[in-house]
Structure formats: structure tokens, C-alpha cells
Structure 1
Amino acid sequence: MIKRTLFFGNPAYLSTRNEQLVVNFPNEEKEEAAIPIEDLGYVVLEDPQITITTGLLMKLVQNKTAVITCDKQHLPCSLLQPMVGHTEQTERMRYQLNASLPLKKNLWQQTVSAKIYNQALHLESRGNNVLKMKRWSTDVKSGDTGNLEAVAAAHYFQNLFSEVEGFSRNQKGVPPNNLLNYGYAILRAVVARALVSSGMLPSIGIFHRNKYNAFCLADDIMEPYRIYVDAVVYDILETGCPIEELSKKLKTELLLIPALDVYIDGKWSPLMNAVSRTTSSLYDCFLGTNRKILFPEYTGIRLDE
């Protein structure tokens, strides 16, 4: 089942009744609205004047709904997740924490290889020559000691947004960096939610290990999925609409990312479901019953109507 994403960009009062999220708009003449909590996967709270009851927060967490709040720049800045995401959580975390360094280096090698290959497929779909990138995807060494991830990323973004004057991938760079930042933040929340549901700690990574980063593993596992954010942003640019400011229309487009259909393991699947398959396969690698993380292969994007 595809879970819904709700976005609140205006003042609202959010509460719960009869296992539903109930929305009231104190500053607008709108009727009360109600949505079944079981249908919700993500709730994005942007306006600082939103009021939400603890009763609703409790039910959202119990439903494993990711609650995302935004900062003054309207970018997602926090994520509320349950303390217990899986019935075998303690055991699963133990396997994760006990993972050997050679295993983590191998898992990172797989991740970087999948990311570069997907970047190559995306560029190829846009008419670029990608023989070099496809070769890089097979040349990644254990732990990516040659730093091919960075080499490929520089080449990829230089070619993908070559027509955008002054563009380089930088969080504070010129548009469409603002769109990429927003999309990646949503994707990060999707991955973190899936990791918790699979009983793992999003903060303990296989490569990323910044002590100030609470989502190191999420940042690792989302790498091959970034391509889908890039594809959505590219398509937005193709429409010619203004991108200097993150309008409501642009946010609506980017908030559809969890519901995009992606190609994984020989079939199409909503991205949020595909991520859950990826995190489940990651745990199997920690457990020792599998050696390969299951990642999607870029074959375009589509939204299941």
C-alpha cells in the first residue's frame, strides 16, 4: 500500500479523533478535514503557527508515520520517529553494531557502484555519453579508496545541469540547488523511516561517521536513490517554471518523490516500498544471510496514478 504524504504550509490545528488526523484552519473559512492515520506515511509541518496535539503525535508514531518539521528557510530540519520500530530491534541493532570493517567497506563499495551506475543511466537517458561513468561504476574498490564517488559526482552534475549558468552542486549554490536540497531532505526522511522499521539505527553508518550527524546510515543508503530527486528536478527545469523560490507548486512536485515508481529486482515499486526492501536486504547483510544490498536500477521515473 502506498502511504500518503501530507504537507501543511499554513497555520492549522491538528488533532485526532476516531483514529483519524483531524485538521482545523483557525485563520481560514474552511471546513474541518479528516484523514485516516493508517494511510499516512509522512506529515510535513512547515508553518511555525501549526499546533499539533500529543495524542496525535503518539498515534502517528505508533503508525510509523514520519513527522517532518521545517526551518525558517522552509527546508526539512527534523524527523520524529518511534523509539521502537521493530519487534526484534535490540537483536538487529546488535548485528548492525557488530558489523566488521571489511563488511562495511564491501557494503559501501556496492553502494557507490550502484550510485554511479544510476547516475550514468540518468545521464544516458538525457542524451549524454556515459561510457566513462559506466566504467567507473565497475572500478569502485572496497571502501571506495579511489574516491570515485566524488569524481563521478563532479562529472555527473557538470553534465546534467550544463545549461544552468554558474551551477555547481553546493547546498548554498544557485538554483536548482534549492530544489535538490529539499528533495534530498525528503528522501533522507524516507530512508530513515525505513531503517527504523527494519530495526536499525539510522545514526550508525557504514561509511558516514560524522559525530554531529544523527542520520549517517540514512545518508549512506540514500546515495543510489538520489538519482530520482535529480530526475524530478531536471524535469521541473524543463518546464521553464521559475525556481528561484520554493513555491507551493514546486514543493508539491518534490513531495511526490516517495510515491514515484522505481525499478527494483525486476519489477516496478513505489520508492518508499523499494527503500524498505533495500533496508531489509541491508540487515540481511549484517546478519550474514546475504552478501548483496538490493538497490533500484534507473529506468526513468513515473507516478502510479
Structure 2
Amino acid sequence: MIKRTICIENPCHLKCRNMQMVVNYEHIKGYENLSEKTVPIEDIGILVLEHQQITISHYLLDKLVANNAAVITCNETHHPSGMMLPLESNSIQSERFRAQIEATGPLKKQLWQQTIKAKLSNQAAVLKKWGIRHNYLTKLAQDVKSGDAGNNEAKGAAYYWSHLFPDAWQFFRKREGPPPNNLLNYGYAILRATMARAITGAGLLPALGIFHRNRYNAYCLADDMMEPYRPFVDVIVRSIIDKTSSVENLTQELKVQLLKLPTIDVLLGDETSPLMIATQRTAASLARCYTGEQRKLLYPEMVDNG
């Protein structure tokens, strides 16, 4: 079942009643006339808290993480700043933790090779979608070595970002850079939460990556596994700027388009499924690689919608 991504943008109090998330505006100045809203907790996959005056009950937080929902908090500029996930969400978690921790160097290098191949292939598909020369990326994808020893990911990134957006944007990819970096950052934050949720659901440690290593990063594995999914965010952002003259401000309309990310269709093997479901299958395939049940990761491909 595809879970919902819900963004709360107004001041309110969030609580739990009968396994429903209740959005209550009582005693909130200027919003008293808004009617109470409810959402079944079991339907929530990601909850984004945008307003600084949102309050939330501990009981609701506990029920959300118990149902494997990711809760994202945003700062005063409305950009994601934190994330909450369950500590336990799989019945054979300790077994998978052990397999993940004991994974050999050669296995991790093979998994990273597959990851970068998939990322470069999807980046090539994005450029192809806009009629941009993509053969260089396709060749890089074919030539990725174990552990990406030739650093094809970086070579591909240099080419990809210099060609993805129209010349008029004079774009360079930098987290704190000018638009549309703001759109990419927001979309990647939603993607990261979606992948982190899938990883914990598969009984894996999100902090223990196959490539990324950072003592201050609790989601290294999510950052690894989301790499081939990033181009799906890029497609949304490129589509937005093709239709919008200014994206200086991350408006509600723009966020609505980016929040659709978990529901877009992707091709995984021979099946088309929503991206959120695909991340779960990707995470499950990684767990099986760690336990020796299979050797190939399941990563998505772009669906050609014409």
C-alpha cells in the first residue's frame, strides 16, 4: 500500500485519537475557525512539519514511528532540518544488523559499483528526455569499476549538471547555491526520508553506509541507496522550471509538486510501481545481498511517459 506524504504548513496542535492523527486549530490565534482534520496513522508514510508554531503530542510521535512513518522537521526558512525514524521495525533486525556490520570490503565495492551504474544510467535517461546529448553518461555507466575506482560518478556529475538546465540559468550544483538548488534540496530531503524509512523497515542500520562514512551523519546508508533515485527529483525540478519563470521562493504550489515524489511511477525490473514502494524493494534487496541470498541490487529505471 502506498503511504501518504503530508505537509503541515499552518500553526496547529497535532495529537492522536483512536489511531487517527488529529490536526486541531483550537486556541490558535487567527485559525480558530478552521475545522479539525483527521488522518489514519496507518496511512502516513512521511509527515513534514513546516511551521515553527506547530505543537505535537508525544503519544502521536510514538504511534507514528511505531507505524514506520518518517517525521521531518523544518527550520524557519521552511527547509527540512531534522528527521525522526523508528529504532525497531523488523522482526529479524538483529540478524540483519549482524550481516550488515560483517559485510566484506569486496561486497561493498560491488554494491557501490551497481549503485553508480544505476545512477549514471538514470542521469543519461533524464538528459535523453529533454533531447540533450547523453551518450557520455551512458558510456560512463557501462565502464564503472568495482567501488567506482575510476570516479565515474564525479565525472558524470560534472557533465550532467552543466547540461541539465537551460544555459540561461547558469546553473551550478551547490547546496547553498542559487535556485533551482532550493528545489533540488527540498526534493532530495523528501527522497532521503523515503529511503531512510525503507531502510529501517528492512531491518538495516541507516547510519552504516556502503560508501558514505561520516561520524556526524545518522543516514549514511540512505544517502548511498538514494543515489540512483536522485534523477527522479531532477525530472520534477526541470519540469517546474520549464513552466515557471521564478523559483526564488519555495512556494506552496512548488512544494506540492515536489511532495508528489513518493507516488510517481518508476520501473523496477519488469514492474511499474510508486517510488515509495520501489525504495522498499531496493532496501529489501540490499538486506538479501548482505545475507548472501542474492548478489544484485534492485534499482529503478525511468518510465518513458512520452
Whether 1:185 aligns to 2:189 is: yes
Distance in 1 (alpha carbons) for counterparts of 2:304 and 2:188: 18
CA pair 191-301 structure 1, distance change in 2 beyond 3 A: farther
4+ residue segments displaced more than 2 Å: 162-166, 299-302
* CA contact 2:265–2:303 (8 Å) conserved in 1: no
Match of 2:17 in 1: 17
**Structure 1 stretch displaced more, 240-249 or 7-16:** 240-249
Whether 1:74 aligns to 2:78 is: yes
Match of 2:133 in 1: 129
Match of 1:97 in 2: 101
TM-superposed CA distance for 1:73, in Å, is: 2.4
What fraction of aligned residue pairs are identical, expressed as a percent?
A: 50
Unaligned runs of 5+ in 2: none
Normalized against structure 1, the TM-score is what? 0.97
CA pair 90-50 structure 1, distance change in 2 beyond 3 A: same
TM-superposed CA distance for 1:164, in Å, is: 3.8
Unaligned runs of 5+ in 1: none
Match of 2:297 in 1: 293
Distance in 2 (alpha carbons) for counterparts of 1:300 and 1:172: 32
Match of 2:285 in 1: 281
What SS class does the counterpart of residue 42 from structure 1 fall into? strand
Match of 1:214 in 2: 218
Q: Deviations over 1:132-171 (max 9, x none)?
A: 1111101001111111101101101111113243310111
Distance in 1 (alpha carbons) for counterparts of 2:146 and 2:280: 25
Match of 2:152 in 1: 148
Distance in 1 (alpha carbons) for counterparts of 2:100 and 2:268: 24
Match of 2:38 in 1: 34
Distance in 2 (alpha carbons) for counterparts of 1:72 and 1:97: 37
Distance in 1 (alpha carbons) for counterparts of 2:135 and 2:69: 41
**2:88 paired residue among 79, 84, 89:** 84
What SS class does the counterpart of residue 68 from structure 1 fall into? strand
Distance in 1 (alpha carbons) for counterparts of 2:221 and 2:161: 24
TM-superposed CA distance for 1:213, in Å, is: 1.2
Normalized against structure 2, the TM-score is what? 0.96
Q: Deviations over 1:88-107 (max 9, x none)?
A: 11110100000000000010
Distance in 1 (alpha carbons) for counterparts of 2:14 and 2:183: 27
TM-superposed CA distance for 1:301, in Å, is: 6.5
Count of equivalent residues: 302
Distance in 2 (alpha carbons) for counterparts of 1:271 and 1:135: 26
Q: Residue type matched to 2:123 in 1?
A: Q
TM-superposed CA distance for 1:177, in Å, is: 0.4
Q: Residue type matched to 2:213 in 1?
A: R
What SS class does the counterpart of residue 116 from structure 1 fall into? helix
CA pair 256-229 structure 1, distance change in 2 beyond 3 A: same
CA pair 164-88 structure 1, distance change in 2 beyond 3 A: farther
Match of 1:138 in 2: 142
Q: CA RMSD in A?
A: 1.2
Distance in 1 (alpha carbons) for counterparts of 2:43 and 2:303: 28
